[in-house]
A and B are shown apart, each in its own frame.
Chain A
Amino acid sequence: MQKYSVFSLFKNALKGHKDWQVAWKDPNPKEEYDTVIIGGGGHGLATAYYLAKEHNITNVAIIEKGWIGGGNVGRNTTILRSNYMHDENGLFYEKGMELWRNMSQELNFNVMYSPRGIINLAHSDAQMNAYARRGNSMKLNGIDATLLGREEIKKLVPILDFSENVRFPIFGGLMQPSGGTARHDAVAWGYARQADSMGVDIIQHCEVTGFDVVNGKIKGIKTSRGNIKAKKVGLCVAGSTSILAEMLNMTLPLETHLLQACVSEPIKPILDHVVTFGAGHFYCSQSDKGEMVMGGDLDGYNSYAQRGNLPTLQHVLTEGIAMLPFLSKLKMLRTWGGIMDMSMDGSPIIDKTHIEGLYLNCGWCYGGFKATPVSGWTFAHTIAQDRPHDLNVGFNLNRFNTGHLIDEKGLGTKTWIS
């Protein structure tokens, strides 16, 4: 594989960039693989990469219905964080942060990991206390966190609304300094390129139409490009999980919902952190291109449409202006929607299933992007070893039977309330 570096860039420039090789090939599916990963999104690509790298399993295919990186890894707001209260989440996502820190170098692909700090604003003492509970939990789990007062926030992000003319004044906030952003597409492409180089077949435009299960054991999958035999199959299809589950006669604690996001026109640097509004649901960061990247609530009804409605964005942007009044004079440039696999306790599922050789990775809600590396890392482990890693043992499917739920928000099964 070609190495990317400033030198290779220079060398290729002199040859008019004619010698660059493909980042990944576009092979036809083989008849059989050791492992098939369904879903060429971030999680699927990362899983294949770690299967090859950590477990030396390279006879692997990624089966993607459309183009790789076209799901939520290509339509999110690029936020990285591990600021969770529950141990299962905190420790899991912190492992993710560790993988993020080295990703560009490990993948030899600049994913623009930018630990600019994420700040959750609080608008009451009660909220400050709730953040303290979360922040202390983070600290005790070895995750960086600081609780900031109003004046400290003002110094960091003076552009927030500190005036009298606000409905919910800023009391302070919880900051995870190592939280930040990364370039979402690059993550998918970087994993794809490395996985490909280690022998993984990335098969695009290939839709799964069924499964071959014999005596409770997976034997292969049926696709729009023919049947593929496989000893093990991993599902990494986020919002489409319920569709595949139906083919397997499984009903899961999941609902698919629609989340919109939008960007403004690009402006000169004005916001250096990721900031979230505490009296509602709004988050914002500024991309390297200068666009304000913004999101918030779900549209609030089951949907597989990657298109939403304006009132939801209106509601989200109302909170946006409440937090960052300067947004008012900017223009909304682009909106988009993605479909989210909302789990019934808000936490993911990475587990084996009752079908031998079939593994499940889903339930990411609207927080899957930051999990990309660690989801792949633990899912690869789960598939390769046929048992979960300590980090994902809590994310089992059986927790809905036993009551060992991991509910960060305490909202229960109404997945559409975000």
Chain B
Amino acid sequence: MGQNFRLANLGLINRDKKISFKFNGKKYFGFEGDTIASALLANGIHLVGRSFKYHRPRGFFGAGVDEPYAIVQMVRNKETEPNVRATEQELFEGLDAKSVNCWPSVNFDIGAINNFFNKFLPAGFYYKTFMWPKSFWYRVYEPFIRKAAGFGVASTKYDSERYEHKYEYCDLLITGSGPAGLAGAYTAAKSGARIILAEEKPRFGGSLLTSDVNIGNQSGKDWADKIIAELKEMPNVTIKNRAQVFGYYDHNMLVMSEKVSDHLPKSKKFTPKQRLWYVRAKEVLISSGSIERPIVFGNNDTPGVVLASAAKEYLKVYGVLVGKKPLVFTNNDSAYETAIEFKKYGIDVIVLDTRINPKSEIIEEAKDLGIEIKFSHVVVAANGYKKVKSAQISKLSDNKKDLGKIEIIKCDCICVSGFWTPTIHLSSQSGNKTKFDEKIDAFVPGTSKQNETTIGSANGIFNLEETLKKSFEKGQELAKKITNNDLKISVPQVSEKKSTNHDKFWCVPLPDKKNYKRFLDFQNDVTVSDIELALREGYRSIEHVKRYTTLGMATDQGKTSNLNGLQLVSDVENKVVPSVGHTTFRPPYTPVSIGAIVGREVGKHSKPTRKSPMHSWHEKNNAIFVDAGIWLRPRYYKKGNEDLFEASKREAENVRKNVGVCDVTTLGKIDIKGPDAAEFLNRVYTNAWLKLPVGKARYGVMLREDGIVMDDGTTTRISENHYHMTTTTAQAANVLSHLEYYLQLVWPDLNVNVVSTTEQWAGAAIAGPKSRDLLQKLFPDLDTSNDGLPFMGYVESKLFGVTAKIFRISFSGELAYEVNVESDNGNYMWEKIMDIGKEFKIQPYGTEALSTLRIEMGHVAGTELDGRTIPYDNGLDGLVSKNKDFIGKRSLNRKAFIATNRQKVVGVVPLDKKTSIPEGSHLVVDENAKLPNPKLGHISASCWSVEYNNPFSLAILKDGKNMIGKKLFALSPLKNKSIPVEIVSSHYVDPKGERVRS
């Protein structure tokens, strides 16, 4: 099919590069620089989709970001993308697009049956029905509605594209490269300010690309080209096209999405699809322009009804006629430019102007060109279903309320202009309270809240000369503030034919006995009568109107509909628009790819991974890893066909019998130094610390101020004023901040310094009856006897030339040592231990075996210290000093905490000594009690006791200390299990703690 609606030699597209693409399976041609919309229009295609609710045919309404309907499904580089706006997506070779929300085809859409029932589907109809039978909403109606709703189809494949983030700082960010933006950017850049100029479209120049103006004896476009060329050469200027500043956040942080490769068939190597820019700007010049708003009339959603500015853009940028028999319907001068462009290319055009007898240079020009102009005339309704065929027009009474005789004139498109709405989204997002400007019937920015200044038509200034003058001034003023250079640029001579006067007329009354649908929101099918209904039903706040009717909630976020909606509400409610107010402008200005927001943190990189220095050894030795926060720890080392249970049992048994080694690098380590370190620890931990000798370690528990256990671990006195604290893996960062908080804010008088040394040390726990023998071999010069290195003792020694810290501490309950060496030597240490340990039948053990060992010893850990328990609950009464104050102590004497039947950790053994009790089971008296069944406690940790070869669990049990010997049921209804159990002491193995001291 030829491009019958393309004019020769006109526009800014590259005619040397023909591009083939598909739409709804059919092949078409366009040119490089086209959008899907311009290329389809060039081919005479107007029907692009169906509306959300009534499935009415929809065409192209705008030519950019304001487009309410032309949304397509697109395939690019074999990946499908839903909801692509056809007026923004540039054409590339092989582009494959299709219509959405229609079945079986856009031409014949079954859903259009809704249009016949539209009477029964007014705003909010679904709130009034679909209530019976009760289960039908979820089972019948909702699935049906869900299927009918939604536009495109999401890809179920991985996004193979790359998205990047960039953080940038600048003196001045300018959003939009129209006349205002260029003038502001130019002065500021010349003054030496570091600027970023962002343009959402592929081409710079904004309205200058299409309007008929002269600046300094050249066309607006030539002037723009010249400024852009000059800016591009300047080192202090970053200039980006296809870059949409979509959000204005706190403290002058703005975010823009740059579509780097979307216009290409596929992204080039090392080039992202999109780049997200976080820009911290000292000052922001908002020059985002304005969006033409429609006049509302009957069937104004018919394909072929377009914004006058869009028609002009299709003509001047793309050389495309939206129709060959156009009608222009306006209440202001700007649409005359559209009419004149048509006429220039030999197309006859009729202008209907709602104004009574307006005068301006451009109207004179139109008259001189022989364009037929009907003042005081309106389009009452468009005729045609899938395309405008004619228009019903009428004279409008002088009070604008009554229509005259309806006349029908043939036309194939209606170019409508109801004046301009400043794009105030960014300034409003910045916190700027908008104000209503009566002159232009629209909201403009009020007083700046952040360092932002709005210029040009975004500020409601539609006169070019004034725009340039003020923008040059603002650029100068801001640049002076930043650079101290006071560079004044004189405003070039400007000639502009159109005036800025407009008629305050926005909605054509219905003729008698006609009930045409008059659309406000084209995508969500919100009509004038919908808004009227909402108001009639008492949904009177503008937010209620929006939510009840869904006005402005479509993917265009009401860019062309919101203001007309407000006008309607103010008319019906007899209020002025500013007192109706508008809904909140929120980022993003236009939808932004979620991939771009997320950037590179996808897949395995969604969170960082921390590994110990021995990680590769573990990998080589069949470790199965477990996530511990962002650390990876060996859970067990698989031998042959072993499963988790078998392997961890073997590992634990070997610790009890021989010796095992466990990587404990992940434990948090904090170095504490200073003359007041002992006093500090004494305040941080619940037990006494003042008398800990040098070379000794002590177990401690620290609380939050609310009395809940925060963390536990051992701390060792390395020298007089030097301590080495260990924390749990999970709490390492919190504990450090906690200590710093008290040192810096609460007790600044204490002379203590803390620093994290977690990364500095690699740790190996050597545990088991043969661990002393192994240690002796590792450190031949060391006195490893109970006298030389007693339980909780600490020494420093050399491990084959490498400095090592040796702590005689134990989590497993066995005779055990923890050896720390500098991280770089971690693997060296590990291999030595494994090598020399062979003769003692050493085996590495993972976190699962570690759990088993600690559980049967009754040592509490994360599942007991779960942020809800106090020391007494965990059997740590002995560690709570009565003689001194410490963090959280005051909370411990609260009623619930000192209750005599307070929960306490206990041991649980199944009566049959066979059935493992699933963790998370609850303990009850009566397994068959009626629900809710009172719970006495829960199973916090379970293991297979390697000591007794039967299951053993820990539980936090109400009145635990008086429950020893009692029989209860452990219920896990999730797993349909009810297990009779006996409550025993939590210290199942070696209750006297003899082994660690052996």
Are A and B interaction partners? yes
Which residues of A pack against B, CB within 8 Å?
4-6, 8-10, 13-14, 16-18, 20-26, 66-67, 69-70, 74, 87, 90-91, 101-102, 104-105, 108-110, 112-116, 123-126, 129-137, 139-142, 145-147, 159, 163, 165-168, 180, 183, 185-186, 189-190, 204, 264-270, 279-280, 286, 288-290, 306-307, 309-310, 313-314, 317-322, 325-336, 401-405, 407, 409-413
CB of B969, distance to nearest CB on chain A (Å): 11
A136 touches B922 (CB 8 A): yes
Task: Please indicate the chain B residues that have their CB under 8 angstroms from the CB of A136 in the complex.
Answer: 920-922, 938, 971-974
- Per-residue contact bits, chain B 146-183, to A (CB 8 Å; 1 contact, 0 not): 11011111111111010100000000000000000000
B83 touches A265 (CB 8 A): yes
**CB-contact partner of B591 in A133, A163, A333, under 8 A:** A333
Q: How far is the CA of A27 from the CA of B910 in the complex (A)?
A: 67
Most central of B609, B933, B938, B974 by chain A CB within 10 Å? B974
Q: How far is the CA of A14 from the CA of B120 in the complex (A)?
A: 8
**CB-contact partner of A21 in B152, B537, B922, B972, under 8 A:** B537
Known contacts A129-B919, A167-B609, A325-B159, A123 near B627 by CB under 8 Å: yes
Task: Please indicate the chain A residues that have their CB under 8 angstroms from the CB of B138 in the complex.
Answer: 113-116, 180
B595 touches A328 (CB 8 A): yes
Task: Please indicate the chain B residues that have their CB under 8 angstroms from the CB of A18 in the complex.
Answer: 536
A165 touches B604 (CB 8 A): yes
**CB-contact partner of B555 in A5, A319, A333, under 8 A:** A333
A265 touches B919 (CB 8 A): no
Task: Please indicate the chain A residues that have their CB under 8 angstroms from the CB of B83 in the complex.
Answer: 265-267, 330-331
- Which 5 pairs show the lowest CB-CB distances between chains A and B? A410-B867, A290-B150, A132-B920, A22-B538, A403-B896
B120 touches A13 (CB 8 A): yes
Q: How far is the CA of A62 from the CA of B802 in the complex (A)?
A: 75
B128 touches A9 (CB 8 A): yes
Subset of 30 A-B contacts with CB under 8 Å: A13-B119, A26-B538, A69-B547, A90-B932, A105-B131, A110-B126, A110-B127, A112-B137, A115-B138, A125-B626, A129-B920, A136-B920, A136-B972, A136-B974, A140-B971, A147-B975, A185-B547, A189-B548, A190-B127, A204-B541, A265-B82, A268-B153, A288-B146, A314-B599, A318-B601, A321-B602, A325-B602, A326-B156, A330-B593, A335-B587
A328 touches B543 (CB 8 A): no
Total number of residue pairs linking A and B with CB closer than 8 Å: 338
CB of A292, distance to nearest CB on chain B (Å): 9
Task: Please indicate the chain A residues that have their CB under 8 angstroms from the CB of B896 in the complex.
Answer: 402-405
Known contacts A104-B137, A115-B138, A309-B250, A321 near B594 by CB under 8 Å: yes
**CB-contact partner of A265 in B132, B249, B591, B891, under 8 A:** B591
Cβ-based interface call for B227 (8 A): no
Q: How far is the CA of A238 from the CA of B897 in the complex (A)?
A: 29
**CB-contact partner of B247 in A139, A204, A266, A310, under 8 A:** A310
Cβ-based interface call for B145 (8 A): yes
Cβ-based interface call for B603 (8 A): yes
Q: How far is the CA of A246 from the CA of B127 in the complex (A)?
A: 39
Chain A, Cβ-Cβ closest to B847: A126
Known contacts A132-B920, A136-B921, A412-B708, A264 near B603 by CB under 8 Å: no
Q: How far is the CA of A407 from the CA of B541 in the complex (A)?
A: 39
Task: Please indicate the chain B residues that have their CB under 8 angstroms from the CB of A322 in the complex.
Answer: 602-603, 606-607
B249 touches A309 (CB 8 A): yes
Known contacts A268-B152, A330-B82, A332-B591, A67 near B544 by CB under 8 Å: yes
Task: Please indicate the chain B residues that have their CB under 8 angstroms from the CB of A413 in the complex.
Answer: 704-706
Task: Please indicate the chain A residues that have their CB under 8 angstroms from the CB of B255 in the complex.
Answer: 310
Task: Please indicate the chain B residues that have their CB under 8 angstroms from the CB of A309 in the complex.
Answer: 249-250, 253
Chain B, Cβ-Cβ closest to A112: B137
Extra contacts besides A20-B533, A132-B918, A332-B593 (7): CB < 8 Å: A18-B536, A132-B921, A265-B82, A319-B606, A322-B607, A334-B586, A405-B896
Known contacts A110-B127, A290-B149, A310-B587, A140 near B922 by CB under 8 Å: yes
Cβ-based interface call for B824 (8 A): no
Q: How far is the CA of A145 from the CA of B250 in the complex (A)?
A: 42
B142 touches A114 (CB 8 A): yes
B541 touches A67 (CB 8 A): yes
Task: Please indicate the chain A residues that have their CB under 8 angstroms from the CB of B593 in the complex.
Answer: 328-332
Task: Please indicate the chain A residues that have their CB under 8 angstroms from the CB of B603 in the complex.
Answer: 165-167, 322
Cβ-based interface call for B490 (8 A): no
Known contacts A165-B603, A328-B595, A407 near B538 by CB under 8 Å: no
Known contacts A105-B134, A145-B974, A328-B159, A24 near B920 by CB under 8 Å: no
Task: Please indicate the chain A residues that have their CB under 8 angstroms from the CB of B895 in the complex.
Answer: 401-404
**CB-contact partner of B594 in A270, A288, A327, under 8 A:** A327
B70-109 residues at the A interface, CB under 8 angstroms: 79-83
Task: Please indicate the chain B residues that have their CB under 8 angstroms from the CB of A66 in the complex.
Answer: 541
**CB-contact partner of B128 in A4, A130, A268, A334, under 8 A:** A4
Cβ-based interface call for B924 (8 A): yes
B607 touches A314 (CB 8 A): no
B129 touches A4 (CB 8 A): yes
Task: Please indicate the chain A residues that have their CB under 8 angstroms from the CB of B249 in the complex.
Answer: 309-310
Q: How far is the CA of A27 from the CA of B918 in the complex (A)?
A: 59
**CB-contact partner of A267 in B152, B540, B863, under 8 A:** B152
A113 touches B137 (CB 8 A): yes
**CB-contact partner of A167 in B134, B588, B605, under 8 A:** B605
Q: How far is the CA of A307 from the CA of B466 in the complex (A)?
A: 34
Task: Please indicate the chain B residues that have their CB under 8 angstroms from the CB of A123 in the complex.
Answer: 627
B537 touches A331 (CB 8 A): no
Task: Please indicate the chain B residues that have their CB under 8 angstroms from the CB of A146 in the complex.
Answer: 974
B22-53 residues at the A interface, CB under 8 angstroms: none
B128 touches A332 (CB 8 A): no
Cβ-based interface call for B398 (8 A): no
Q: How far is the CA of A27 from the CA of B156 in the complex (A)?
A: 52
Task: Please indicate the chain A residues that have their CB under 8 angstroms from the CB of B157 in the complex.
Answer: 326
A130 touches B594 (CB 8 A): no
Chain A, Cβ-Cβ closest to B609: A167
CB of A119, distance to nearest CB on chain B (Å): 14
Cβ-based interface call for B868 (8 A): yes
Chain B, Cβ-Cβ closest to A399: B896
Task: Please indicate the chain A residues that have their CB under 8 angstroms from the CB of B932 in the complex.
Answer: 87, 90-91, 140-142
Chain A, Cβ-Cβ closest to B599: A314
A266 touches B154 (CB 8 A): no
CB of B733, distance to nearest CB on chain A (Å): 12
Chain B, Cβ-Cβ closest to A324: B154
Q: How far is the CA of A410 from the CA of B607 in the complex (A)?
A: 23
Cβ-based interface call for B125 (8 A): yes
Task: Please indicate the chain B residues that have their CB under 8 angstroms from the CB of A74 in the complex.
Answer: 543, 547
CB of A354, distance to nearest CB on chain B (Å): 18
A318 touches B128 (CB 8 A): no
Task: Please indicate the chain A residues that have their CB under 8 angstroms from the CB of B891 in the complex.
Answer: 403
Cβ-based interface call for B707 (8 A): yes
Task: Please indicate the chain A residues that have their CB under 8 angstroms from the CB of B544 in the complex.
Answer: 67, 69
Task: Please indicate the chain A residues that have their CB under 8 angstroms from the CB of B557 in the complex.
Answer: 333-334
Q: How far is the CA of A4 from the CA of B132 in the complex (A)?
A: 11
A124 touches B626 (CB 8 A): yes
Chain B, Cβ-Cβ closest to A345: B706
A23 touches B543 (CB 8 A): no
B594 touches A320 (CB 8 A): yes
B150 touches A6 (CB 8 A): no
B604 touches A167 (CB 8 A): yes
Chain B, Cβ-Cβ closest to A320: B594
Chain B, Cβ-Cβ closest to A21: B537
Task: Please indicate the chain A residues that have their CB under 8 angstroms from the CB of B158 in the complex.
Answer: 163, 165, 325, 328
Cβ-based interface call for B755 (8 A): no
CB of A413, distance to nearest CB on chain B (Å): 6
